[in-house]
Amino acid sequence: MGGRAVSAARPTLFGDAVSGRAVLVVGLGRSGMAAADGLLECDARVVVVDDADTEANREKAQILRTLGAEVRLGPGSTAELPAGTELVITSPGLRPATPILAAAAAAGVPIWSEVELAWQLSAAPLPAPERTPWLGVTGTNGKTTTVQMLASMLTAAGNRVALVGNVGRPVMEAVLDTDTRYDVYVVELSSFQLHSSHSLQLHSAAVLNLAPDHLEWHASLEEYARDKASIFERVTHSCVYNVQDPATEQMVEQADVTEGARAIGFTLGAPGMSMLGVVDDLLVDRAFIEQRKTSALELARLDDVQPNAPHNIANALAAAALARSYGVPATAVRDGLNSLRLDGHRIETVATADGVTWVDDSKATNPHAAATSMQAFDPIVWIAGGQAKGTSFDELVPAVAERLRGAVLLGVDREQIREALHRHAPDVPVIVVDNAETEAMVEAVAAAAELARPGDTVLLAPGCASLDMFSSYGARGDAFADAVRQRLDAAAADGNE
């Protein structure tokens, strides 16, 4: 959290939207804590509720009570909407049908995300030239990689960058950071956050792709798509879409943008005018140059993108489009890609032994992400399963069936994937791990080793969320890597006897 002193380098928070109002913060996670802190600084009357009476929440509650908030923890704390509530700040994990949110909606009480609150408090009251620009990224897959690429490109150009939003650090933390004046915010936005964000006006925004996901949260795929598309509303400079995904272009066409905003495409093929794309192993720009009708500007080489699987090249092009919309020179795109070290569990090679490559893509938490990952390898022993989140594998399996040496399934929705394999790839060998404990990954790796042949890739691309068995997709990836290394170490020791 930033200090209470206000830097002379930037304006104070403008609290007209919340000053003196009774504001309910639902959820005391990181975004809820940041929201409550910002609201208190703006002299709101704050009540915070969370059903989880954990040690961590009790520590946060003590801080907030000292600052003047009322905090209610424990089962039943979120059962009813407190009387007199004038505004609700919701946790992104709470579905709109959650009783306390449904009650607020029925009573006509506005419901904001923490992102919306940050925009309202720090951006809306300022004249346009003084606002810190926001560059936003959403999509079903690739968001975190893309914002990390974008932040690296912007930093290479000498900008002070706040990387915030769904990527981990709440936007309000950057807003409250009085020690730093940021030049630009890079904001990863989930459909959950966008659902309760109503007035954002981003400098530029990108929708990377659209595929079924989080259908246990959204009422329908159409609602999920509408929430994603809302990122383009009121954009002032560039709306970036995926040429290979027509749904994203339709979002731009239907968006109510600021006059003068442009549509910018990215493609893995040769780019048309107002696009970025690939020519002769080069990433090139035909959107942000004066000669775009007749020529293209080299930004980077494909080898500058690591790993340079097709979907990651698409991420790099989207990031470059946003960076170029902000005025970043071509050299900073290349330098940003070269200096970047992505977070783990994204098509990360764990080991290669006896001709078999073991790859961790635990971040592939939905079928679209898994299918995209699998396009980079052939043949594959596929390790999959977890929480399917209401999605189907009936499109994925036919698309990758010819690549599959075999499949190993684990997790709560493993039978759903097995049934899809039976329907669409009945000749693919399938091993089902019925163990529901975290040790099941050891069994899955052993089963995959039985199926794999020299030249194969054993790919952990679960196509599912991880929380049925693991604390996060990272913990799942770590379990996979540990099991692989233990197996290979044991094999090496046996060979030396």
For 76, counting Cβ atoms within 10 Å of its Cβ (0-12 exposed, 13-18 middle, 19+ buried), the class is: exposed
Give the residues of the chain that fall short of pLDDT 50. 1-12, 124-129
Is 84 annotated as a binding-site member?
no
| C-alpha span between 91 and 89 (Å, rounded) | 7
Is 228 annotated as a binding-site member?
no
Which pLDDT does position 123 carry in this prediction? 56
CB 326 within 8 A of CB 135: yes
For 379-438, what is each residue's pLDDT tens digit?
Answer: 999 999 999 988 899 989 999 999 999 999 999 999 999 999 999 999 999 999 998 777
Which pLDDT does position 211 carry in this prediction? 81
Rounded to 5°, the CA angle 281-287-289 comes to 95
173 is written with which tokens?
């933390």
- Of 108, 77, 102, 90, residue with least CA distance to 35: 90
| C-alpha span between 461 and 264 (Å, rounded) | 30
Do domains 117-339 and 348-495 share one topology? The answer is no
For 204-257, what is each residue's pLDDT tens digit?
Answer: 999 999 886 666 666 787 888 999 999 999 999 999 999 999 999 999 999 999
| C-alpha span between 321 and 301 (Å, rounded) | 15
Q: Which residues contact 26 (CB under 8 A, 6 or more apart)?
A: 32, 49, 50, 78, 88, 89, 90, 91, 94, 98, 100, 101
Phi then psi for residue 229, to 5 deg, are -65, -25
Quickly tell me which residue has 């424990």 as its tokens. Answer: 74
379 is written with which tokens?
């043949």
Is 141 annotated as a binding-site member?
yes
Which pLDDT does position 17 carry in this prediction? 77
Is 411 annotated as a binding-site member?
no
CA gyration radius for the chain?
24
Is 349 annotated as a binding-site member?
no
CATH code for 22-109?
3.40.50.720
Is 406 annotated as a binding-site member?
no
User: Which CATH superfamily does the domain covering 348-495 fall into?
Assistant: Mur ligase, C-terminal domain (3.90.190.20)
396 is written with which tokens?
């994925």
Is 144 annotated as a binding-site member?
yes
CATH code for 117-339?
3.40.1190.10
The residue type of 231 is I
Which pLDDT does position 402 carry in this prediction? 94
Please state the domain extents for the chain: 22-109, 117-339, 348-495
| C-alpha span between 421 and 431 (Å, rounded) | 11
Q: Which residues contact 93 (CB under 8 A, 6 or more apart)?
A: 27, 29, 192
CB 227 within 8 A of CB 195: yes
